[in-house]
């Protein structure tokens, strides 16, 4: 990077090769996203600016970002945000970076609401393990135009995560619409007198088995452990969630959970034993079982 005159294209090609040599998976994409950020351009607009010369301060800022990236810091943490359901969410290392497969959970919720619940006057949704607030906020944004009495709650045990979720609620103009609570699984609902009145519970709990944490990608390990560690068998939080949900879900209410494919059989059993039926599983983009949906009642 000691050369003085760099065009956008030269810088992109240089960084792409550099990232590739450092075993960064999405080397070209990451180079583009970071350079676009520095130049305050949309990523694809880089292509219209290939011959533009970079200014000195742009080069030195970009250099800093490249250094962070090769240290294994994910792009979303470097930029401080991540897109989810077409909306931008602030993130920092205290929250999990929202994943594309979690969008499938939200799409399934929206499709159920569209099919079965649009005629209902009220709709109450609880998202537990909320992290950055990506699930409850995007559900609210997509459903608010159809529903007058839409109530959405978010819960997380991490104070820092709740802070990020609240900031995201402000950013998306839903600060007074979504209530976020600090607490363990569904415990905070105790104080709301909502027994038997929740239509939909959504959850993306920590689900990696403790012994598998070590073998995760270095980058995933830069995300908070508290958002990943699902206990010895990966089921720790699901057990508590499913049991507690019996108190709060309406009869015929639905639970939507992101899962690890290897937990599928155990979870089907657990749901059946606890009075759920119509259990459905949706695959993610890699054709792995990822989203589980069930209705309370036989
Ligand atoms: C896998 S992340 C999900 C984040 C976000 N919902 C998403 O889908 O991107 C799990 C979240 O659960 C939270 N968490 C861990 N243990 C919890 C508990 N006992 N009760 C509530 N939340 C918990 C973590 O702080 C983390 O934010």
In tens, the pLDDT along 225-280 reads: 999 999 999 999 999 999 999 999 999 999 999 999 999 999 999 999 999 999 99
Arithmetic mean of pLDDT over the chain: 96
Residue closest via CA to ligand 1's atom 26 equals: 227
Vertex 129, ends 128 and 134: CA angle to 5°? 90
Nearest residue to 209 (alpha-carbon basis) of 162, 156, 266: 266
Q: Is 245 in the pocket of ligand 1 (CB under 6 A)?
A: no
Find the helix packing angle between 134-143 and 100-112, rounded to 10°. 40
Q: Is 130 in the pocket of ligand 1 (CB under 6 A)?
A: yes
Per-residue pLDDT band at 2 (split at 50, 70, 90):
low
pLDDT of residue 193: 93
pLDDT at 4 over 90: no
Distance from the alpha carbon of residue 130 to the mean position of ligand 1, in angstroms: 5
Count CB-CB contacts under 10 A for residue 194.
Answer: 17
Of 2-6, 36-40, 264-268, the range with the lowest mean pLDDT is 2-6
DSSP the chain: ---S--BHHHHHHHHHHHHHHTT-TTHHHHHHHHHHHHHT--GGGGGG-TTPBPPHHHHHHHHHHHHHHHTT--HHHHHTEEEETTEEEE--TTSPPP-HHHHHHHHHHHHHIIIIITT-SEEEEEEES-TTTHHHHHHHHHHGGG-SEEEEEEEES-HHHHHHHHHHHHHTT-TTTEEEEESSTTGGGGGGT-TT-EEEEEE----B-GGGGGGS-TTGGGS-GGGTB--TTS-HHHHHHHHHHHHHEEEEEEEEEE--GGGHHHHHHHHHHTTEEEEEEEE-TTS-EEEEEEEE--
Q: Is 100 in the pocket of ligand 1 (CB under 6 A)?
A: no
Nearest residue to 120 (alpha-carbon basis) of 90, 87, 146: 146
For a ligand 1 pocket test, name from 159, 178, 205 the mutation site with the most ligand atoms within 8 angstroms of its C-beta.
205
Nearest residue to 156 (alpha-carbon basis) of 177, 174, 133: 133
What is this structure's pTM?
Answer: 0.95
Q: Is 106 in the pocket of ligand 1 (CB under 6 A)?
A: no
pLDDT at 3 over 80: no
d(CA 18, CA 269) in angstroms, rounded, equals: 48
Q: Which residues contact 100 (CB under 8 A, 6 or more apart)?
A: 284, 285
Q: Is 134 in the pocket of ligand 1 (CB under 6 A)?
A: yes
d(CA 105, CA 37) in angstroms, rounded, equals: 29
Q: Is 157 in the pocket of ligand 1 (CB under 6 A)?
A: yes
36: which 2 tokens? 């676009």
């Amino acid at each position: 990077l000691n050369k003085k005159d760099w065009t956008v294209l030269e810088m992109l090609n240089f960084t792409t090769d550099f990232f590739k040599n450092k075993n960064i998976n999405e080397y070209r994409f990451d180079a583009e996203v970071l350079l676009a950020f520095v130049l305050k351009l949309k990523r694809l607009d880089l292509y219209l600016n290939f011959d533009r010369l970079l200014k000195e301060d742009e080069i030195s800022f970009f250099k800093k970002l490249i250094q962070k990236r090769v240290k294994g810091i994910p792009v979303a943490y470097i930029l401080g945000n991540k897109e989810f359901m077409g909306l931008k969410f602030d993130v920092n290392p205290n929250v999990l970076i929202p994943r594309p497969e979690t969008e499938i959970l939200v799409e399934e919720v929206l499709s159920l609401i569209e099919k079965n619940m649009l005629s209902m006057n009220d709709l109450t949704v609880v998202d537990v393990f909320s992290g950055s607030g990506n699930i409850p906020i995007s559900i609210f944004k997509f459903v608010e135009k159809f529903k007058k009495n839409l109530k959405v709650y978010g819960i997380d045990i991490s104070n820092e995560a709740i802070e990020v979720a609240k900031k995201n609620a402000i950013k998306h103009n839903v600060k007074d619409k979504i209530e976020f609570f600090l607490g363990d699984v569904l415990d905070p609902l105790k104080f709301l007198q909502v027994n038997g009145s929740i239509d939909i519970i959504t959850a993306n709990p920590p689900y990696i088995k403790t012994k598998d944490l070590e073998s995760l990608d270095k980058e995933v390990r830069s995300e908070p452990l508290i958002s990943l560690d699902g206990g010895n068998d990966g089921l720790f939080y699901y057990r508590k969630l499913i049991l507690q949900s019996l108190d709060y879900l309406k009869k015929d209410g639905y639970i939507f959970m992101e899962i690890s494919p290897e937990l599928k059989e155990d979870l089907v059993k657990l749901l059946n034993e606890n009075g759920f039926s119509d259990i459905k599983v949706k695959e993610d983009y890699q054709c792995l079982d990822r989203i589980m949906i069930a209705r309370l009642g036989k």
